[in-house]
């Protein structure tokens, strides 16, 4: 297949989905027929313990536009998604879950929305799916998701209704500039929007899981909260890191002044001042350390991929559109993008 002819790349992370793989492929393949062969499907086996990789490989053996990437162990959804994106060659990149809860038939409509833009000559860079009629358990899935979406909106200022929906369409040039960290795939549209990418949100269908077991639950809440805290820190550092560290340095600076006051008071009264003087020196060193770290961070930031202003030459404006559908070989290691301290030895990408 000529990479230049590929219009659409569909990336699907898979983990223990042997019962869903074949049906997932068939439904995606059927939904993409309007693209007349100008597409590819990338399955990323995230270290499954069942026959997910074997089933996917069997399909790929007779399907030239299906590629399969496999990890030696389970890394998580974000590294799996990053691996697929790193290998995608399409002009547009579609991401979706491998449990058949997302409906592939929504993809053409979402692509059409992205290309059409807002009707005022402004193009969209991302189209996000909104599971308005979500088929999940209320307590363990819906309520935590609602809380998370509101928190994300508060932190980022980007009011996306359903950050957790994996069904999204991206322009490749925007997505491939995005650094991946931990489990932060759910925050990608919000972060890119802050960098200037234009985002549309459309209603999509959602189905109850038919095969296999859900990989989500209440145990993921703490991960979302940790990632949200991480993202808040990133956003605080994103414009002028030195300002953030200078504000943080005010705390030990205040403690330094308090300690010095005790030193002066003790010296005047003829009392021991060793402890107060030690505290003053320690807090002063911490203040100087934070100030220095701020200036170093400013220098690093100017050379880092976190400059979201480079993501797209557009204004940072968010346009939400709630529409209806008609029915209502490996480029880079994803591990290096998501787990930079690990070695390549524990990660394998195989393309079939």
Q: In terms of DSSP bridges, do strands 168-171 and 92-95 run parallel, antiparallel, or are they unpaired?
A: antiparallel
More confident residue, 330 or 44: 44
Structure tokens at 78: 């974000």
Query: Was domain 3-237+308-346 assigned CATH 3.90.550.10?
Result: yes
The answer to whether the CB of 338 falls within 8 A of the CB of 79 is yes
CA distance 167 to 314: 23
Residue 345 is predicted with a pLDDT of 32
Q: Which range among 151-160, 237-246, 301-310 shows the weakest confidence by mean pLDDT?
A: 301-310
- Mean pLDDT for the chain? 77
Residue 210 is predicted with a pLDDT of 72
Q: How many CB atoms lie within 10 A of CB 90?
A: 20
Q: What are phi and psi of 156, to 5 degrees?
A: -90, -25
Q: What beta strand segments (E) does the chain contain?
A: 8-14, 39-45, 66-70, 92-95, 126-130, 168-171, 199-203
* pLDDT tops 50 at residue 269: yes
pLDDT in tens, 320-350: 333 333 332 333 334 444 443 333 333 333 4
Residue 347 is predicted with a pLDDT of 36
Which of 153, 185, 2 has the alpha carbon at shortest distance from 85?
Answer: 185
Which of 141, 44, 38, 130 has the alpha carbon at shortest distance from 91?
Answer: 38
The answer to whether the CB of 286 falls within 8 A of the CB of 174 is no
CA distance 222 to 218: 8
Residue 323 is predicted with a pLDDT of 34
The model's pTM: 0.67
Q: What are phi and psi of 93, to 5 degrees?
A: -120, 125
The answer to whether the CB of 176 falls within 8 A of the CB of 82 is no
- What are the domain boundaries of the chain? 3-237+308-346, 241-301
pLDDT in tens, 60-90: 999 999 999 999 898 888 889 889 998 999 9
Which residues pair with residue 40 across a beta bridge?
A: 9
Q: Positive or negative, the Cα torsion across 160, 161, 166, 169?
A: negative
Q: What share of the chain is helix, strand, coil (3-state, %, to 5)?
A: 50, 10, 40
Residue 118 is predicted with a pLDDT of 80
CA distance 206 to 106: 10
* Residue in the block written with tokens 């990338």: 42
The answer to whether the CB of 332 falls within 8 A of the CB of 86 is yes
Residue 182 is predicted with a pLDDT of 64
More confident residue, 303 or 343: 303
More confident residue, 309 or 324: 309
Q: How far is CA 69 from the centre of its chain?
A: 19
pLDDT in tens, 181-214: 666 777 788 778 777 788 888 999 888 777 656 6
């Amino acid at each position: 297949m000529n990479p230049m002819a590929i219009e659409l790349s569909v990336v699907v992370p898979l983990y223990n989905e042997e019962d869903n793989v074949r049906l997932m492929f068939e439904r995606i393949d059927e939904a993409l027929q309007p693209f007349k062969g100008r597409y590819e499907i990338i399955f990323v086996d995230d270290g499954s313990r069942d026959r997910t990789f074997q089933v996917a490989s069997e399909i790929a053996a007779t399907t030239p536009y299906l590629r399969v990437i496999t990890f030696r162990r389970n890394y998580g959804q974000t590294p799996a998604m990053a691996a697929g994106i790193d290998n995608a060659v399409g002009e547009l990149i579609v991401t979706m879950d491998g449990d058949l809860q997302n409906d592939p038939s929504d993809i053409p409509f979402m692509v059409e929305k992205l290309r059409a833009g807002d009707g005022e000559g402004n193009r969209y860079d991302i189209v996000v799916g909104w599971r308005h009629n979500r088929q999940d358990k209320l307590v363990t899935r819906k309520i935590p998701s609602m809380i998370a979406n509101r928190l994300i909106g508060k932190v980022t200022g980007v009011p996306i209704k359903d950050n957790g929906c994996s069904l999204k369409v991206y322009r490749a040039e925007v997505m491939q500039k995005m650094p991946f960290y931990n489990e932060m795939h759910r925050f990608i549209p919000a972060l890119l929007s802050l960098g200037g990418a234009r985002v549309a949100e459309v209603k999509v269908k959602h189905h109850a899981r038919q095969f296999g077991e859900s990989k989500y639950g209440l145990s993921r809440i703490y991960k979302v909260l940790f990632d949200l805290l991480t993202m808040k820190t990133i956003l605080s550092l994103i414009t002028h890191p030195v300002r953030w560290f200078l504000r943080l340095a005010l705390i030990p600076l205040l403690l330094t002044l308090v300690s010095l006051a005790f030193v002066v008071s003790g010296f005047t009264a003829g009392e021991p001042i060793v402890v107060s003087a030690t505290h003053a020196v320690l807090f002063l060193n911490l203040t100087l350390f934070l100030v220095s770290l701020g200036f170093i961070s400013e220098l690093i930031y100017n050379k880092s991929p976190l400059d979201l202003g480079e993501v797209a030459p557009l204004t940072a404006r968010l346009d939400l559109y709630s529409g209806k559908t008609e029915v209502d070989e490996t480029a880079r290691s994803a591990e290096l993008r998501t787990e930079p301290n690990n070695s390549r030895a524990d990660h394998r990408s195989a393309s079939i």
